[in-house]
Structure 1
């Protein structure tokens, strides 16, 4: 099999993407660490739960929403649980699974952090783009996400939330 090396244009685009992603993620992490001592992932967990019916999601669904492994989610949820920002409950419809539930304390924390988070995202990304570029960004990454699916069916080996690890995942 012959390696399909990146063209110079593709290499520049790839490097620009990686640099931009890392710088933006670092800015968001720094802002959230300064304001609440939490990484971006923890904020994303709280935000996802806040947007879910009854502020609860099955752990497997939460991992899928965040595009992370179940073991990484379990670690983060355990930390957020210690801080009383969420709690885990047994899944009523699947005895093997569990559900993450946003607590009132977690919602209050999210409401306190949201303005700074949005300002960091806006300043680091959207204030630098034209409305047309925002549309292009959405179109590009919708296409990228679609590339990890086969005719609408997810490829299990490619998706992080379906990967098993040696540790306990907290969900089936």
Structure 2
């Protein structure tokens, strides 16, 4: 597309874009602060504990956890080492793959996620859902998948998602 063909943002579109960028920065940052304040944990730790606590399986392969979180395996690997040192998870041999291992919640990990979840859910509800009326929530439910589809069509959607 040539520069004379560029469809520049209108003033209202530019304002909305700035608000979206601010939200994309502020919400994850606020979530991190909430988890540190209320549960003394990083959001990554919470995410891993949540995945492990929600699975019906007693343990998962790290690759499955990474896929569930849409994370790179190396990012997860470093975090798992720290969580194991804190006693939140344990590693065990993978019965189906002798080269690999599986991870499971320890009793401390289970207690930690059970303690952290109520305040975290309250934060998400009060910050995100309670601040919107039903029509606004419905509009987001409709708009966000369309935006994700647009990324897909442009070949820009993260393939791990």
Which TM-score tier does this pair reach, normalised by the shorter chain? 0.7 to 0.9
Residues in 1 aligned to 2:108 and 2:160: alpha-carbon distance in whole angstroms: 29
User: Conserved in 2, the CA contact under 8 Å of 1:24 and 1:121?
Assistant: no
Bigger CA radius of gyration: 2
Query: How is 1:31-70 mapped onto 2 (pairs within 5 angstroms)?
Result: 31-70=34-73
TM-score, normalization by structure 1: 0.75
For structure 1, the 5+ residue unaligned runs are: 162-172
For structure 2, the 5+ residue unaligned runs are: none
The CA RMSD measured in Å over matched residues stands at 2.7
User: Cα 1:133–1:84, aligned 2, differ >3 Å: closer, same or farther?
Assistant: same
Match of 1:88 in 2: 91
Residues in 2 aligned to 1:137 and 1:55: alpha-carbon distance in whole angstroms: 35
Relative CO higher for 1 or 2, CA cutoff 8 Å, sep ≥ 6?
1
User: Cα 1:73–1:141, aligned 2, differ >3 Å: closer, same or farther?
Assistant: farther
| Matched length | 156
Structure 2 residue aligned with 1:127, among 112, 127, 130? 130
Matched, 1:159 2:159: yes
Residues in 2 aligned to 1:140 and 1:72: alpha-carbon distance in whole angstroms: 30
Secondary structure, counterpart of 2:57 in structure 1 = helix
TM-score, normalization by structure 2: 0.79
